[in-house]
Structure 1
Amino acid sequence: MIQYKESALYPRHRQRIAENFSRAAKTYDSAATLQRIVARKAMLGLPSVLELERVLDLGSGTGSQTVELQQRYPGAQVVGMDMAMGMLQHAQRQLSEPAFSWCAGDIEALPFASDCFDLVFSSLAIQWCESLTSVLQEVQRILKPGGYFVFSSLASGSLMELAQAWRKVDGYSHINHYETLDVQTQQVAASGFESGSLKQQAEVLHYPDVNVLLKELRALGVNTVTEGARQGLMTRRRLLAFRDAYETLRVPAGLPLTYQVVYGVLRKPR
């Protein structure tokens, strides 16, 4: 039986992120092209050991990866945790089998007892956290000795085309800050985890026009700007200026949007 502890209330800007993802629950899967690509690659790092008792999908969203984890480890109890209640409710409606359980919580203050999971998986969720260091501390706390943390996140250089186009409009980047791979590598090295691998790979999507690009970001709920980023009132004039600026970046495949994805496989020492 997994034990739970009370999570701290979300900070104001984290609550805004949770609300945006909750609103996006019904449209998320239809727009989650990048998320599917990245999750599939992240899962290549999953351990081949099949006799796992408890597995946690951290930032489980609509439960797509939660299902894959249960299929990969059929004997395990799989827990999906997310900070967005809308996502959890959507997942629970789709997946009500006893093999799954669902929990609301903050990644930086996990509502679980220490040493209770064999594997923690997280794909494109921890970049929304304040500090990778605190995430690593919490994940290491809840893992059993010898347990695995397999994850994907974002690094500096992500959404660079979006930032470049907005700078031509108002001088602001309009995107969130992501640490470089070097900084993330240092944080992992200081965490006490055994580092199996930590690598960065660019994933580039292409869109026919700016409207489709912005619609997809809204459908995914990832259009939230956290504290430290700047975003003024959206007017038709500014949107047209943004569109014109982005069009200068067009390539034969369409308008590019680049994500610098970090893939990690870590293990808690025995």
Structure 2
Amino acid sequence: MVPLNKQAIAESFGRAAASYDSASHLQQAVAAEVMTLIPGRCQPDRVLDLGCGTGVHTDELQRRYPDAWVLGCDLAQGMLAHARAGYPGPSWCGGDAERLPLKADALDLVFSSLAIQWCERFLTVLDEVYRALRPGGVFVFSTLCEGTLQELRMAWQAVDRFSHVNDYPPLHRLQSDAEASRFRVERLQQVPHCVHYGRVVQLNRELIALGANTLTGERRKGLMTPSRLKALQAGYEPFRDEQHRLPATYQVVFGVLIKEA
């Protein structure tokens, strides 16, 4: 397995900070679902938005818990600069989800949406979040699993032998990691979310606008030429639905984990 280049990932998302919010329709919808998973009994004093991106949801958490100290943490400095400029209420810090810059027993709630799929090991993230939470603390999150952008992956097979879509772990591996952690698993569920496009170039442009076009494995160097784009479009056509739309399916995993007292 090729190690993640976290610097490249952070730089890609940092460059996309200005365009991210306008392209993040799926991400916003998924984050809204994660918000609904926060238990009503949870009235936190200290909150972390892990992988906060542009800070939209960090600010929402601050407004939801106005008396709490809310911290947005992200690996991408460009995202953090954008968040600081747009949302003065929360606090902000740079940091890696697999090595949190926080003391033990520092938090009551950790929120994370579509960020930890960019980490090396899910179990390491769980260990770090567990360490940072106080007893009784809650970790609510979304991430991606195997099968995400499967249509795009298969379309690329008509073009070359390289992988152009990131690999994500299967649900059963996420489940086994969650069960191996010290958390009590209250929820871990896979839910497909589908986005539709008229042409494949629109999907490619959106991935670039999101900063999500950085690959974690072997990739082909070079620009997207007209001939390659034409071949990719042809490879995607068999997936066009009855409404003449091209689907892009994300396999989203929603989780609620509790650090028992």
Which bracket does the TM-score occupy, shorter chain normalised? over 0.9
Q: 1:169 is paired with a residue of what secondary structure? A: coil
Moved over 4 A (4+): none
Give the deviation of 1:57 after TM superposition: 0.1
Alignment correspondent of 2:135: 145
Q: Deviations over 1:63-88 (max 9, x none)?
A: 11111111221211100000111110
Question: Is the CA contact (8 Å cut-off) linking 1:169 and 1:242 kept in structure 2?
Answer: yes
Per-residue deviation, residues 102-123 of structure 1 (Å, max 9, x unmatched): 0001110000011000000000
- For 1:150 and 1:170, locate their aligned partners in 2 and report how far apart those are by CA, in whole Å: 39
Aligned to 1:3: none
Q: Could you tell me how far apart the structure 1 residues matched to 2:220 and 2:255 are?
A: 31
1:241-268 per-position Cα deviation (integer Å, ceiling 9, x unaligned): 1122112321115111000000000001
| 1:35 Cα deviation from its structure 2 partner | 0.3
Matched, 1:217 2:179: no
Instruction: Tell me if 1:191 matches 2:181.
Output: yes
Name the CA distance, whole Å, in 1 between partners of 2:149 and 2:106. Answer: 36
CA offset digits 1:155-185 (Å, max 9, x no partner): 1000101100001111233111111111100
Aligned partner of 1:61 in structure 2 is: 53
> Which ranges in structure 1 are unaligned for 5 or more consecutive residues?
1-10
Match of 2:256 in 1: 265
Partner of 2:40: 48
What are structure 2's unaligned runs of at least 5 residues?
Answer: none
Match for 2:84: what amino acid? Q
Q: Which residue among 93, 99, 102 is the counterpart of 2:85?
A: 93
Normalization by structure 2: what TM-score? 0.95
Quote the RMSD (CA, aligned, Å).
1.3
Residue 44 of structure 1 aligns with an amino acid whose one-letter code is T
User: Identity over aligned residues, as a percent?
Assistant: 51
Output the amino acid matched with 1:153. Answer: T
1:233 and 2:222 are equivalent in the alignment:
yes
Structure 2 Cα separation of the partners of residues 161 and 232 of structure 1? 22
